[in-house]
Amino acid sequence: MTVVSPGLEIERIRGCLLGGAVGDALGWPVEFQSLGQIRRTFGTQGVTAPVESPAGVFEVSDDTQMTLFTAEGILRARRAGYPDQSRETIEEVSKAYGRWLYTQGFKEALDPSGLDGWLIEIPELFNQRAPGQTCLGALLEGRAYDDSKGCGGIMRVAPVGLLHDSPMVPACLIADITHGHPTGYLSAGCFALIIRLIAEGATVQEAARAACDVVIRSEGSLEVAGAIHVALELAGRTTHPGPSHVESLGAGWVAEEALAIALFCSLKAGSFEEGVLLAVNHSGDSDSTGALTGSILGCLMGPGSIPSAWLEKLELRLAIERIAGEIASCREL
Protein backbone atom coordinates (compact mmCIF):
# COMPACT_ATOMS: atom_id res chain seq x y z
CA MET A 1 0.00 0.00 0.00
CA THR A 2 1.39 3.39 -1.02
CA VAL A 3 0.82 6.21 1.47
CA VAL A 4 1.52 9.87 0.77
CA SER A 5 3.75 11.83 3.12
CA PRO A 6 2.22 13.31 6.29
CA GLY A 7 0.74 16.77 6.30
CA LEU A 8 -2.24 18.60 4.86
CA GLU A 9 -0.62 19.31 1.51
CA ILE A 10 -2.80 19.57 -1.57
CA GLU A 11 -2.35 15.88 -2.44
CA ARG A 12 -3.99 14.77 0.80
CA ILE A 13 -6.88 17.17 0.26
CA ARG A 14 -7.37 16.24 -3.40
CA GLY A 15 -7.15 12.56 -2.58
CA CYS A 16 -9.79 12.82 0.13
CA LEU A 17 -12.32 14.77 -1.93
CA LEU A 18 -11.76 12.95 -5.22
CA GLY A 19 -11.67 9.60 -3.45
CA GLY A 20 -14.97 10.30 -1.74
CA ALA A 21 -16.60 11.27 -5.03
CA VAL A 22 -15.27 8.17 -6.81
CA GLY A 23 -16.56 5.92 -4.02
CA ASP A 24 -19.90 7.69 -4.29
CA ALA A 25 -19.96 7.20 -8.07
CA LEU A 26 -19.23 3.48 -7.69
CA GLY A 27 -22.03 2.96 -5.20
CA TRP A 28 -24.70 5.32 -6.53
CA PRO A 29 -26.01 3.01 -9.33
CA VAL A 30 -26.58 0.17 -6.82
CA GLU A 31 -27.56 2.17 -3.72
CA PHE A 32 -30.98 0.55 -3.36
CA GLN A 33 -30.07 -2.93 -4.61
CA SER A 34 -29.46 -6.09 -2.64
CA LEU A 35 -26.22 -8.01 -3.13
CA GLY A 36 -28.16 -10.58 -5.14
CA GLN A 37 -29.51 -7.91 -7.46
CA ILE A 38 -26.04 -6.39 -7.86
CA ARG A 39 -24.59 -9.75 -8.84
CA ARG A 40 -27.41 -10.50 -11.26
CA THR A 41 -26.71 -7.20 -12.99
CA PHE A 42 -22.91 -7.06 -12.88
CA GLY A 43 -21.82 -10.69 -12.44
CA THR A 44 -20.52 -12.65 -9.48
CA GLN A 45 -17.87 -10.04 -8.67
CA GLY A 46 -20.47 -7.30 -8.52
CA VAL A 47 -19.51 -3.72 -9.36
CA THR A 48 -15.91 -3.57 -10.62
CA ALA A 49 -15.82 -0.05 -12.10
CA PRO A 50 -17.97 3.08 -12.26
CA VAL A 51 -21.05 2.87 -14.47
CA GLU A 52 -21.16 5.40 -17.29
CA SER A 53 -24.43 7.33 -17.50
CA PRO A 54 -26.26 8.09 -20.77
CA ALA A 55 -24.59 11.52 -20.58
CA GLY A 56 -21.17 9.85 -20.63
CA VAL A 57 -20.14 10.58 -17.03
CA PHE A 58 -19.75 8.72 -13.75
CA GLU A 59 -22.56 10.28 -11.76
CA VAL A 60 -22.25 11.23 -8.11
CA SER A 61 -25.07 11.49 -5.61
CA ASP A 62 -26.27 13.95 -2.98
CA ASP A 63 -23.34 12.77 -0.82
CA THR A 64 -20.81 14.57 -3.02
CA GLN A 65 -23.13 17.49 -3.69
CA MET A 66 -23.59 18.21 0.02
CA THR A 67 -19.88 17.67 0.69
CA LEU A 68 -19.09 20.48 -1.75
CA PHE A 69 -21.61 22.81 -0.11
CA THR A 70 -20.23 21.92 3.33
CA ALA A 71 -16.80 23.00 2.16
CA GLU A 72 -18.19 26.20 0.64
CA GLY A 73 -19.88 27.16 3.92
CA ILE A 74 -16.78 26.53 6.03
CA LEU A 75 -14.56 28.39 3.57
CA ARG A 76 -16.81 31.43 3.73
CA ALA A 77 -16.81 31.33 7.52
CA ARG A 78 -13.03 30.98 7.62
CA ARG A 79 -12.53 33.93 5.27
CA ALA A 80 -14.86 36.01 7.40
CA GLY A 81 -12.72 35.22 10.43
CA TYR A 82 -15.36 33.26 12.34
CA PRO A 83 -14.13 30.70 14.93
CA ASP A 84 -14.56 27.06 13.94
CA GLN A 85 -17.23 26.25 16.54
CA SER A 86 -19.03 29.57 16.39
CA ARG A 87 -22.70 30.14 15.67
CA GLU A 88 -21.67 32.20 12.64
CA THR A 89 -19.71 29.30 11.12
CA ILE A 90 -22.63 26.90 11.52
CA GLU A 91 -24.95 29.51 10.03
CA GLU A 92 -22.69 29.84 6.99
CA VAL A 93 -22.87 26.07 6.46
CA SER A 94 -26.66 26.18 6.91
CA LYS A 95 -26.85 28.89 4.26
CA ALA A 96 -24.76 26.73 1.95
CA TYR A 97 -27.23 23.88 2.47
CA GLY A 98 -29.97 26.32 1.54
CA ARG A 99 -28.22 26.78 -1.80
CA TRP A 100 -28.06 23.00 -2.18
CA LEU A 101 -31.83 22.88 -1.52
CA TYR A 102 -32.24 25.39 -4.32
CA THR A 103 -30.39 23.09 -6.71
CA GLN A 104 -32.74 20.29 -5.75
CA GLY A 105 -35.79 22.22 -6.90
CA PHE A 106 -36.83 23.90 -3.64
CA LYS A 107 -36.47 27.44 -4.90
CA GLU A 108 -38.78 28.81 -2.23
CA ALA A 109 -36.26 27.72 0.42
CA LEU A 110 -33.75 30.38 -0.52
CA ASP A 111 -34.00 34.14 -0.49
CA PRO A 112 -32.81 35.56 -3.84
CA SER A 113 -30.09 37.43 -1.95
CA GLY A 114 -28.57 34.06 -1.03
CA LEU A 115 -28.02 33.03 -4.64
CA ASP A 116 -24.35 33.84 -4.74
CA GLY A 117 -21.15 31.89 -5.14
CA TRP A 118 -19.80 29.78 -7.96
CA LEU A 119 -21.20 26.41 -6.88
CA ILE A 120 -24.75 27.56 -7.51
CA GLU A 121 -23.76 28.26 -11.12
CA ILE A 122 -22.75 24.65 -11.93
CA PRO A 123 -25.54 22.94 -13.93
CA GLU A 124 -24.52 19.44 -12.85
CA LEU A 125 -25.33 20.29 -9.23
CA PHE A 126 -28.98 20.72 -10.17
CA ASN A 127 -29.39 16.96 -10.68
CA GLN A 128 -31.53 15.19 -8.09
CA ARG A 129 -29.79 11.97 -7.00
CA ALA A 130 -32.14 10.52 -4.38
CA PRO A 131 -31.50 13.23 -1.76
CA GLY A 132 -32.03 12.06 1.79
CA GLN A 133 -35.49 12.79 3.15
CA THR A 134 -34.12 13.68 6.58
CA CYS A 135 -31.79 16.28 5.09
CA LEU A 136 -34.52 17.72 2.91
CA GLY A 137 -37.13 17.80 5.66
CA ALA A 138 -34.86 19.20 8.35
CA LEU A 139 -33.51 21.94 6.09
CA LEU A 140 -36.96 22.90 4.85
CA GLU A 141 -38.32 23.04 8.39
CA GLY A 142 -35.25 24.75 9.82
CA ARG A 143 -34.71 22.21 12.59
CA ALA A 144 -32.84 18.96 13.15
CA TYR A 145 -34.73 15.70 13.52
CA ASP A 146 -33.78 14.65 17.04
CA ASP A 147 -34.62 10.99 16.43
CA SER A 148 -32.55 10.65 13.25
CA LYS A 149 -29.18 8.98 13.20
CA GLY A 150 -29.14 8.36 9.46
CA CYS A 151 -25.90 8.63 7.51
CA GLY A 152 -26.90 11.93 5.92
CA GLY A 153 -24.89 13.80 8.55
CA ILE A 154 -21.66 11.81 8.35
CA MET A 155 -21.52 11.51 4.57
CA ARG A 156 -20.95 15.26 4.05
CA VAL A 157 -18.37 16.25 6.70
CA ALA A 158 -14.99 15.22 5.21
CA PRO A 159 -14.15 18.90 4.54
CA VAL A 160 -14.46 19.59 8.27
CA GLY A 161 -11.52 17.27 8.89
CA LEU A 162 -9.54 18.97 6.14
CA LEU A 163 -10.20 22.52 7.30
CA HIS A 164 -10.35 22.36 11.10
CA ASP A 165 -7.45 21.51 13.40
CA SER A 166 -9.89 20.14 16.01
CA PRO A 167 -12.80 18.92 13.88
CA MET A 168 -14.82 16.75 16.29
CA VAL A 169 -17.10 19.47 17.70
CA PRO A 170 -17.53 21.47 14.45
CA ALA A 171 -18.45 18.27 12.57
CA CYS A 172 -20.97 17.33 15.26
CA LEU A 173 -22.55 20.78 15.05
CA ILE A 174 -22.71 20.65 11.26
CA ALA A 175 -24.27 17.17 11.24
CA ASP A 176 -26.70 18.33 13.94
CA ILE A 177 -28.16 20.86 11.50
CA THR A 178 -30.22 17.92 10.22
CA HIS A 179 -29.49 14.86 12.36
CA GLY A 180 -30.13 15.48 16.05
CA HIS A 181 -29.63 11.98 17.45
CA PRO A 182 -26.29 11.72 19.31
CA THR A 183 -25.29 8.67 17.32
CA GLY A 184 -25.84 10.60 14.10
CA TYR A 185 -23.78 13.65 14.94
CA LEU A 186 -21.12 11.89 17.03
CA SER A 187 -20.42 9.49 14.15
CA ALA A 188 -19.87 12.53 11.96
CA GLY A 189 -17.51 14.02 14.53
CA CYS A 190 -15.51 10.79 14.66
CA PHE A 191 -15.28 10.59 10.89
CA ALA A 192 -14.01 14.16 10.57
CA LEU A 193 -11.42 13.52 13.29
CA ILE A 194 -10.30 10.32 11.56
CA ILE A 195 -9.81 12.26 8.32
CA ARG A 196 -7.82 14.90 10.17
CA LEU A 197 -5.56 12.40 11.91
CA ILE A 198 -4.90 10.46 8.71
CA ALA A 199 -4.02 13.71 6.95
CA GLU A 200 -1.48 14.33 9.71
CA GLY A 201 0.13 10.93 9.16
CA ALA A 202 -1.80 8.45 11.31
CA THR A 203 -2.75 5.00 10.06
CA VAL A 204 -6.44 4.15 9.76
CA GLN A 205 -6.23 2.00 12.87
CA GLU A 206 -4.44 4.70 14.87
CA ALA A 207 -6.95 7.33 13.78
CA ALA A 208 -9.94 5.12 14.58
CA ARG A 209 -8.67 4.26 18.06
CA ALA A 210 -7.87 7.90 18.81
CA ALA A 211 -11.32 9.03 17.63
CA CYS A 212 -12.92 6.34 19.79
CA ASP A 213 -10.95 7.55 22.82
CA VAL A 214 -12.27 11.08 22.22
CA VAL A 215 -15.90 10.27 21.48
CA ILE A 216 -16.36 7.94 24.45
CA ARG A 217 -16.20 11.01 26.70
CA SER A 218 -19.41 12.34 25.15
CA GLU A 219 -22.88 11.55 26.38
CA GLY A 220 -24.72 9.15 24.10
CA SER A 221 -21.59 7.76 22.47
CA LEU A 222 -21.95 4.04 23.24
CA GLU A 223 -23.33 3.09 19.82
CA VAL A 224 -20.57 4.96 18.00
CA ALA A 225 -17.74 3.66 20.17
CA GLY A 226 -19.19 0.16 19.93
CA ALA A 227 -19.36 0.33 16.13
CA ILE A 228 -15.72 1.43 15.91
CA HIS A 229 -14.65 -1.35 18.27
CA VAL A 230 -16.54 -4.00 16.29
CA ALA A 231 -15.04 -2.79 12.99
CA LEU A 232 -11.51 -2.90 14.40
CA GLU A 233 -12.04 -6.33 15.92
CA LEU A 234 -13.54 -7.76 12.73
CA ALA A 235 -10.71 -6.36 10.63
CA GLY A 236 -8.17 -7.90 12.98
CA ARG A 237 -9.52 -11.43 12.59
CA THR A 238 -10.54 -11.36 8.91
CA THR A 239 -8.08 -12.60 6.31
CA HIS A 240 -10.27 -12.70 3.21
CA PRO A 241 -12.82 -9.89 3.48
CA GLY A 242 -16.01 -10.09 1.50
CA PRO A 243 -19.62 -8.92 1.44
CA SER A 244 -20.65 -11.17 4.32
CA HIS A 245 -18.17 -9.39 6.60
CA VAL A 246 -19.38 -5.98 5.46
CA GLU A 247 -23.02 -6.93 5.96
CA SER A 248 -22.31 -8.23 9.46
CA LEU A 249 -21.62 -4.58 10.36
CA GLY A 250 -25.00 -3.44 9.06
CA ALA A 251 -26.33 -1.87 5.88
CA GLY A 252 -24.91 1.63 6.32
CA TRP A 253 -28.22 3.47 6.33
CA VAL A 254 -27.51 4.74 9.83
CA ALA A 255 -24.41 6.70 10.76
CA GLU A 256 -22.57 4.30 13.06
CA GLU A 257 -22.99 1.41 10.59
CA ALA A 258 -21.70 3.52 7.70
CA LEU A 259 -18.70 4.52 9.82
CA ALA A 260 -18.00 0.90 10.82
CA ILE A 261 -18.20 -0.33 7.22
CA ALA A 262 -15.90 2.43 5.99
CA LEU A 263 -13.33 1.67 8.68
CA PHE A 264 -13.43 -2.07 8.03
CA CYS A 265 -13.08 -1.66 4.26
CA SER A 266 -10.26 0.86 4.67
CA LEU A 267 -8.41 -1.36 7.12
CA LYS A 268 -8.62 -4.38 4.80
CA ALA A 269 -7.75 -2.48 1.61
CA GLY A 270 -4.53 -3.38 -0.15
CA SER A 271 -5.26 -0.57 -2.61
CA PHE A 272 -7.76 2.22 -3.12
CA GLU A 273 -9.59 0.15 -5.72
CA GLU A 274 -9.84 -2.89 -3.47
CA GLY A 275 -11.20 -0.90 -0.54
CA VAL A 276 -13.92 1.03 -2.35
CA LEU A 277 -15.14 -2.00 -4.28
CA LEU A 278 -15.49 -3.90 -1.00
CA ALA A 279 -17.42 -0.92 0.36
CA VAL A 280 -20.05 -0.78 -2.39
CA ASN A 281 -20.75 -4.47 -3.06
CA HIS A 282 -23.27 -5.19 -0.33
CA SER A 283 -26.97 -4.88 0.41
CA GLY A 284 -27.20 -1.37 1.76
CA ASP A 285 -26.33 2.30 1.33
CA SER A 286 -23.57 1.64 -1.17
CA ASP A 287 -22.95 5.21 -2.27
CA SER A 288 -22.45 6.50 1.29
CA THR A 289 -20.24 3.63 2.42
CA GLY A 290 -18.29 3.98 -0.82
CA ALA A 291 -17.92 7.74 -0.32
CA LEU A 292 -16.70 7.42 3.27
CA THR A 293 -14.23 4.68 2.38
CA GLY A 294 -13.01 6.61 -0.65
CA SER A 295 -12.46 9.71 1.47
CA ILE A 296 -10.38 7.79 4.00
CA LEU A 297 -8.29 5.91 1.44
CA GLY A 298 -7.88 8.93 -0.82
CA CYS A 299 -6.59 10.96 2.12
CA LEU A 300 -4.28 8.12 3.13
CA MET A 301 -2.91 7.21 -0.31
CA GLY A 302 -3.35 10.39 -2.35
CA PRO A 303 -5.08 10.93 -5.71
CA GLY A 304 -2.42 8.91 -7.53
CA SER A 305 -3.89 5.78 -5.95
CA ILE A 306 -7.23 6.29 -7.73
CA PRO A 307 -7.44 4.57 -11.13
CA SER A 308 -7.10 7.29 -13.75
CA ALA A 309 -9.93 5.79 -15.79
CA TRP A 310 -12.23 6.32 -12.82
CA LEU A 311 -11.32 10.00 -12.64
CA GLU A 312 -11.51 10.86 -16.33
CA LYS A 313 -15.30 10.92 -16.51
CA LEU A 314 -16.05 11.74 -12.87
CA GLU A 315 -18.96 14.15 -12.63
CA LEU A 316 -18.11 17.47 -10.92
CA ARG A 317 -14.38 16.70 -11.03
CA LEU A 318 -13.42 20.28 -11.88
CA ALA A 319 -15.55 21.62 -9.02
CA ILE A 320 -13.99 19.11 -6.63
CA GLU A 321 -10.49 20.08 -7.76
CA ARG A 322 -11.30 23.76 -7.32
CA ILE A 323 -12.69 23.21 -3.81
CA ALA A 324 -9.56 21.22 -2.93
CA GLY A 325 -7.41 24.12 -4.10
CA GLU A 326 -9.44 26.61 -2.08
CA ILE A 327 -9.11 24.45 1.04
CA ALA A 328 -5.35 24.24 0.54
CA SER A 329 -5.08 27.99 0.02
CA CYS A 330 -7.26 28.71 3.05
CA ARG A 331 -5.09 26.55 5.26
CA GLU A 332 -2.01 28.45 4.14
CA LEU A 333 -3.40 31.83 5.21
Mean pLDDT of 200-205: 96
The pLDDT, as a whole number, for residue 174 is 98
CA distance 263 to 259: 6
The pLDDT, as a whole number, for residue 170 is 97
CA distance 124 to 21: 14
- Would you say 71 and 163 are in contact if contact means Cβ atoms under 8 Å apart? yes
pLDDT confidence tier of residue 331, bands split at 50, 70 and 90 = confident
The pLDDT, as a whole number, for residue 152 is 97
- Would you say 239 and 27 are in contact if contact means Cβ atoms under 8 Å apart? no
Of the candidate CATH numbers 1.10.540.10, 1.10.4080.10, 1.10.10.10, 2.10.60.10, the domain formed by 10-44+57-332 belongs to 1.10.4080.10
Look over the chain and give the mean of its residue pLDDT values, rounded to a whole number: 95
Orientation of helix 286-301 relative to helix 62-79, angle to 10°: 50
The pLDDT, as a whole number, for residue 115 is 78
β-bridge partners, 179: 145
Mean pLDDT of 280-286: 97
The pLDDT, as a whole number, for residue 6 is 56
pLDDT confidence tier of residue 116, bands split at 50, 70 and 90 = confident
Q: Which one, of 199, 271, 260, 186, lies nearest residue 229 by Cα?
A: 260
Mean pLDDT of 78-95: 93
pLDDT confidence tier of residue 75, bands split at 50, 70 and 90 = very high
CA distance 308 to 325: 19
- Would you say 258 and 155 are in contact if contact means Cβ atoms under 8 Å apart? yes
Percent of the chain having pLDDT more than 70? 95
The whole-model pTM stands at 0.96
Report in angstroms the alpha-carbon separations of 132 from 120, 256, 257.
Answer: 19, 17, 17
Question: What residue type is 151 in one-letter code?
Answer: C
Residue 53 has pLDDT above 70, yes or no: yes
Q: Which residues contact 219 (CB under 8 A, 6 or more apart)?
A: 182
Q: Which tens digits make up the pLDDT trace of 7-44? A: 568 999 999 999 999 999 999 999 999 999 999 999 99
pLDDT confidence tier of residue 117, bands split at 50, 70 and 90 = confident
Residue 61 has pLDDT above 60, yes or no: yes
CA distance 127 to 59: 10
CA distance 80 to 65: 23
